[in-house]
Amino acid sequence: MPGRTLPTFTAAEVEAHNTSTDCYVTIGDNVYDVSDFVEAHPGGPELVLDYAGKDVTAILKDEASHRHSESAYEILEESLVGFLVKEKSTNGVAKQANGEALVSVNGPDCGGDTWVHPRTGMSSAEDLNKETNAAEDFKKHKFLDLNKPLFMQVWNGGFSKEFYLDQIHRPRHYKGGDSAPFFGNFLEPLSKTPWWIVPTLWWPAIAYGSYLASKGFDYPIQQFLYSLLGLVLWTLVEYLLHRFLFHLDYYLPDNRVGITLHFTLHGVHHYLPMDKYRLVMPPTLFLVLAYPFYKLALSVFYWDWHVAVAVYAGGIFGYTCYDMTHYFLHHRNLPQYYQTLKKHHLEHHFLDYENGFGVSNKFWDMVFGTEISRAAPMKTK
């Protein structure tokens, strides 16, 4: 795949991005878009806006003014959008402010922050937020029109599995409305789930199940330990479901039934990863998946129904934490630990979808050897 050169900006162009919703800063020759970070800045948005369109090298290093942690630099790394140039040349070679020519980046040998993935054409998680021109995307790829219901386009598309997998793992970002239409009819509400639905529906059910289970224990600590076991078991289930069900990918049957089921279950999330209404599991799908695990809990802990329910309730609580974590990783600024987890998960989307299956944690990726590597090759068939 051809390489891609990140955009170049003159000083005047950078200075024009100086508002709370369109804020660029520079460090040396690197240009960063920090618009999404303005309101979340710990010192207040005014401190960022004072340097909007300007170089922040000195202020970042000024201990007397404000000490910046490593996480601040990590956020900047994810926000690289281009390079500062003295002028835009007419011969196709832009010059950096230091006079050196910019080099096109096209693969894992490029190194540094400008590594661009050969399949997705992305270099950082920030790319996931760049608006997709729906008309141009459809014209170029002949895959899905984001302005029309997606489900029937996949069902009637006649796509080969190879083409389908290639396309859904090239993330798009839709800004034409709250979400791209999925069914486009009375079923549309069933395809959208705000994150707060998860605790609203399931925490009362978990509390009731825990209350029933408590009647079988002499000491609360016993129930707590079994519930904790369920929570730990959930983290393994989360990993296995994500890896072997949601990313069945190359084991899919090469027909429209398999492809459409895959798209409905998880493919749509990789195709439109920043769609905030298709980030958590719809209640109907949760019920379909939850019932077999309830029966499994009863089978494994067959000697005591109360133990089985305590473990199951802990597992379901783990699921709710996972689903909310998944939403927050995509759409919220989080403490340091979660910043690392956020980078890990978003790299699963734009860098290497065949690794990095843990969402609420990276433990099982380390155990099973599926950690993300920036130089990891992607399958093409």
Beta strand 8-10 with 18-19: parallel, antiparallel or unpaired?
A: unpaired
- For the residues 82-96, what does the mean pLDDT come to? 53
Predicted pLDDT at 203: 97
Residue 348 among known ligand-binding residues: yes
Query: Which of the listed ranges 26-40, 92-106, 265-279, 305-319 does the model predict with the highest average pLDDT?
Result: 305-319
pLDDT above 90 (res 366)? yes
Cα–Cα distance between 353 and 248 in angstroms, integer? 12
How far apart are alpha carbons 370 and 380 in whole angstroms? 18
Q: What is the mean pLDDT of residues 286-296?
A: 91
- Find residue 375's DSSP bridge partners: none
CA angle 32, 36, 41 (to 5 degrees): 90
Q: Which pLDDT tens digit goes with each residue over 237-271?
A: 999 999 999 999 889 999 999 999 999 999 999 99
Phi first, then psi: give them for residue 283, nearest 5 degrees: -55, -40
Instruction: Please give the Cα distance from 236 to 339 (Å, whole number).
Output: 22
For CA atoms 255, 291, 323, 342, give the dihedral sign: negative
User: Is residue 247 classed as helix, strand or coil in its secondary structure?
Assistant: coil
- pLDDT grade for 58, boundaries at 50, 70 and 90: confident
Q: What is the pLDDT of residues 306-350, one digit of tens each?
A: 999 999 999 999 999 999 999 999 888 777 778 889 888 988 998
Largest CA distance in the chain: 81
pLDDT at 63: 67
What's residue 254's pLDDT? 92
306 is in an annotated binding site: no
**Can you read off the two tokens belonging to residue 75?**
């956020």
In the numeric block, the tokens 């489900």 are attached to: 151
CB proximity list for 111: less than 8 A, separation 6 or greater: none
Predicted pLDDT at 104: 38
- Rounded to 5°, the CA angle 117-28-20 comes to 80
The number of residues making up the chain comes to 381
How many Å apart are CA 307 and CA 375, to the nearest integer?
45
**Share of the chain residues as helix, strand and coil, in percent rounded to the nearest 5:** 50, 10, 40
DSSP line for 11-57: HHHHHT-EETTEEEEEETTEEEE-GGGTTT-TT-HHHHHTTTTSB-H
End-to-end CA distance of the chain: 15
**pLDDT band at residue 176 using 50, 70 and 90 as cut-offs:** low
Contact 186, 274 (CB under 8 A): no
Instruction: Retrieve residue 131's tokens.
Output: 């608006």
Summarize pLDDT for 131-152 with one digit per residue, the tens.
888 888 888 888 999 889 999 9
**Statement: the pTM of the whole predicted model exceeds 0.75:** no
The answer to whether residues 102 and 5 touch, using CB atoms and an 8 Å cutoff, is: yes
Domains of the chain by range and CATH?
Answer: 8-116 (3.10.120.10), 188-368 (no CATH)
**DSSP character at residue 84:** E
pLDDT for res 238: 95
Mean pLDDT for all residues in the chain: 82
What are the CB-based long-range contacts (under 8 Å, 24+) for 89-98? 94/5, 94/8, 96/29, 97/11, 97/28, 97/29, 98/29
Q: Is 349 assigned a ligand-binding role in the annotation?
A: yes
155-173 average pLDDT score: 90
User: Measuring CA to CA, how many Å separate 90 from each of 62, 74, 94, 98, 105?
Assistant: 39, 34, 8, 18, 20
Among the residue ranges 24-28, 65-69, 86-90, the one predicted with the least confidence is 86-90
Range scoring the smallest mean pLDDT among 192-206, 286-300, 365-379: 365-379
| Arithmetic mean of pLDDT, 185-200 | 92
How many Å apart are CA 142 and CA 40, to the nearest integer? 39
Please check if 66 is assigned to a binding site: no
Does the annotation flag 344 for ligand binding? no
